[in-house]
Structure 1
């Protein structure tokens, strides 16, 4: 991987491309710029407008698969950022919040959300280091196993 490569080049080096931004399923927008930050609404793992998986992590959804789904959510979040300002405008990933639909007794939420965090580090290097919360919840929209939201700082 080239250390000076931009985020799009890094995505390509990993064989990844940004998905289409999923249309909102409610009264909100996928991403909003306010000042020097872009706030991204929670992203669930979608493909062609459909949820990729449903269920709870620790009961039907393995932590390893949930980590992959978390990465998919992170890609969707980057697509939402790109639709507002373009990925090359990102100075740093500031905050990641990961929600994990958890079976009773499942406490591996941080490992699941690592799928998103690892992607941001790979794409942005040190600028991908961020503050983070990994929260276990009873249910997520549409029955999704994971949901990721982010805040990024961008250039003027």
Structure 2
């Protein structure tokens, strides 16, 4: 049985990809190398601004950080879509989550579960991935969470077939 295309799954879940945030430095949102796409770290943005600032376990609750982690994962998928097309993603390989953590905060993995769960909802078994969750003192723009992805992509000529259509 073929899985639904990621774009179709997002629609079924009532989710929309946000606009790709412009780079705030000397980098690009995503780079393809062979059959892998490396997506730069994404922080929770809306209208070019971080939606919430501060450390998790201090000004930001774990529950809010989980939602922000999901938002970061959606932003990473938007960067992937703009770079190669969402339906070329055949597998999520690795997620790295950075959590701006108050002293003594140790639930980084719970926060990053927001991104991991979203990827599983969108890609099913192909969304299961290796992962690292890291607590840090601060993140760029004082964001509470940053998520980066590595995904495997189908060759360009097979993207229609990979998406569940016909060649």
TM bracket, shorter-chain basis: over 0.9
Moved more, 5-14 or 110-119: 5-14
Give the Cα–Cα distance (whole angstroms) in 2 for the partners of residues 98 and 117 of structure 1: 10
Corresponding residue number in structure 1 for 2:7: 8
For this pair of structures, how many residues does the alignment match? 154
Relative to the length of structure 1, the TM-score reads 0.97
Structure 2 unaligned blocks of 5 or more: 156-167
CA displacement at 1:4 relative to structure 2: 3.1
Structure 1 unaligned blocks of 5 or more: none
Give the Cα–Cα distance (whole angstroms) in 2 for the partners of residues 53 and 31 of structure 1: 24
CA RMSD of aligned residues (A): 0.8
1:30-109 correspondence runs (5 A): 30-109=29-108
Equivalent position SS for 1:147: strand
Say yes or no: does 1:153 pair with 2:152: yes
Cα displacement string for residues 49-75 of structure 1 (whole angstroms, at most 9, x for unaligned residues):
111000000001000000000000000
Rg (Cα) greater in structure: 2
Give the Cα–Cα distance (whole angstroms) in 2 for the partners of residues 85 and 50 of structure 1: 25
In proportion to residue count, which structure has more strand? 1
Say yes or no: does 1:131 pair with 2:130: yes
